[in-house]
Structure 1
Amino acid sequence: MPRLVAVCAVHSLHPDSGSVGVTAIDKRAVEGSVRVGKLGIRSDVQASRKHHGGPDKAVYAYATEDAAFWEGELDRELHPGWFGENLRVEGLDVNGARIGEIWRIGDTVEVEVTMPRTPCATFARWVGGSAARGWVKRFSDEGRLGAYLRVRRAGEIRAGDAIEVLSSPEGAPTVLEAYRS
């Protein structure tokens, strides 16, 4: 059964050479129950609302299995939140999820898959070092993008909660197909 490994929110803002001047990509696991509302995880922020946040990008999910792949590639531990994700999940093919798919997390929260993450230069700078060179292309080519989610039903979630796919629209593109189209 798919489950929620961690709920993550911004740990701290970091200076960034991008147009906003700071980034909120540094997310970390939050202990205990966390409220999820229409605009995302309580206590989380987005430095650039032009490219992140809002109802269709309220929550970003990333799979433990994809993070493990990158840990091997980058030869370092990548804690929950390292990809800027709000939800670290396991046992769920996030990139194979269909646009419009509905998940229930825990007892009450329902989310809808809306679109893939598009990697950016801020993400490459976050990766740092020699891995940052060509990171956007490398991350894109690998197809381990993660998915943005719309919150359909607010509530509380916590690490360990079960995730159930309630519906998946037949014929809708997957997250990866949507990215590559």
Structure 2
Amino acid sequence: HLAIAAAQRVGLPLRIAGPISDPAYYAAQVAPHLGEAVRYVGHLDHAALSLLIGGARAFLCTPCWDEPYGLVVAEALACGTPVAAFARGAIPSLLDAGSGVLATPDDVDSLADAARRALQLDRSDSRSRAVAICDAETMIDGYEALYEEMCAQHTGVNPATPMWPALAAGRSAPRSARAL
């Protein structure tokens, strides 16, 4: 409902896609606003969703929790669509000044302002940001650096040392360890 209010303040149409996981919320907060300017297009397959997001002038992301990654933001960037999003969880780490604009969480005026500014961004910068941060090698390097940093925080742990002697001998880890 916050994206609806922000889009209305900016004066742009809004297309909402995805499953309706909370029918009561949808009935109370979304359905009353549906019309030409605000449309629910359903739960789309990946190809149709990519076309919708790629054809949008901006993508509004309004999580109500600390999003641990923000896959929808990465997908919008991959489509070359600038993002206006609440600054929650990991979302700020996905955006830079050329690809998106952050808004104060739960603040419709801030989101509307972010949307206006996102509309001015160059789509190619959004796509470039996705390529830079979502590339498999870049992500692997980031995970390895994080792993090494976490291991270094624990005295005497070398990230290159196997946790179980069986791993050093080339055998698989104990069943209980594989379940971790």
- TM tier, smaller: under 0.3
What TM-score, normalized by structure 2, do the two folds share?
0.24
**Larger strand proportion of the pair:** 1
Of structures 1 and 2, the one scoring higher in RCO (CA 8 A, sep 6+) is: 1
